[in-house]
């Protein structure tokens, strides 16, 4: 009986220490849009997570379209970052719903995958929307060429004017 009591108290303590209660999330993201920089699209999401029960050192996992990625934490504070790449053809312009799971959520997700259960039944800790505008190689004429063309046109006009005066 005493053992059961100790185990329950310990579980409560441990559980409350590692479960984030009512997280508030501050997030920002970057997605690559320039095809000239690389054929794969790169995504980076940075976030700050504050739990109501002041849990530190959360271990988080991100789920993007059914693929899980580990989330790294900065040594100080509650700053987290996750990044991934995808082939450009597989990442057109879209709104990505990036779900974040704590350790228990991640285990539940893995279990659901093993027993062929729908992954949407596992509730994430929180989710972040990432808007990807798609990748493009930009305008087919470079900006310095346009600047040179404009400068050449002006120079041609002024040369004509000068020639008319000098002749």
Partner 1 sequence: MAPKSSNFSKEEELLLQDFGRDLSRKSSVIFYVHALFVSAIPLWLFNRIHQMEMLDNAILFVIGTIFSAYFVALAYKNNKFELKHKIAQKRSDGVAAELNAKMSETESKKISKKEKDERILWRKNEIAEAESMQLAVFYTNSLFLILLILSSFFFFKSYSPMPNYIISMVGASSITGLLSTSSQK
**With respect to partner 1, which residue has the nearer C-beta, 113 or 147?**
147
Helix (H) or strand (E) segment spanning residue 146: helix 143-166
Q: DSSP letter at 35?
A: G
Q: Is 151 in the site for partner 1 (CB under 8 A)?
A: yes
Which residues fall within 8 angstroms of residue 54, CB to CB, at 6 or more apart? none
- Give the binding-site size for partner 1 (rule: CB under 8 A): 13
**With respect to partner 1, which residue has the nearer C-beta, 76 or 144?**
144
Q: DSSP letter at 34?
A: B
Count of beta carbons in the 10 Å neighbourhood of residue 47: 22
Least separation in angstroms between residue 144's CB and partner 1 is: 4
What ranges in 81-142 are assigned the alpha helix state H? 103-114
**With respect to partner 1, which residue has the nearer C-beta, 24 or 34?**
34
Please name every residue paired with 25 in a beta bridge, in sequence order, or none if there are none.
Answer: 49
What is the pairing mode between strands 40-50 and 24-31? antiparallel
Site string for partner 1, 128-147 (x = CB under 8 A): ----------------x--x
**With respect to partner 1, which residue has the nearer C-beta, 113 or 154?**
154
Binding site for partner 1 (CB under 8 A): 144, 147-148, 151-152, 154-155, 158-159, 161-162, 165-166
């Amino acid at each position: 009986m005493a053992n059961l009591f100790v185990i329950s108290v310990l579980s409560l303590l441990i559980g409350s220490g590692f479960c984030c209660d009512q997280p508030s999330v501050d997030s920002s993201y970057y997605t690559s849009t320039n095809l000239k920089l690389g054929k794969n699209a790169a995504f980076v999401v940075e976030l700050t997570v504050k739990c109501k029960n002041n849990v530190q050192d959360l271990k988080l996992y991100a789920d993007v379209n059914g693929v899980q990625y580990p989330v790294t934490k900065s040594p100080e504070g509650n700053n987290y970052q996750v990044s991934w790449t995808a082939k450009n053809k597989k990442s057109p312009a879209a709104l990505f719903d990036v779900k974040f799971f704590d350790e228990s959520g991640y285990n539940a997700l893995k279990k659901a995958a093993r027993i062929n259960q729908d992954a949407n039944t596992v509730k994430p800790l929180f989710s972040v929307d990432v808007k990807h505008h798609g990748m493009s190689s930009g305008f087919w004429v470079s900006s310095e060429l346009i600047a040179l063309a404009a400068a050449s046109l002006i120079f041609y006009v002024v040369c004509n004017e000068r020639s008319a005066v000098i002749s």
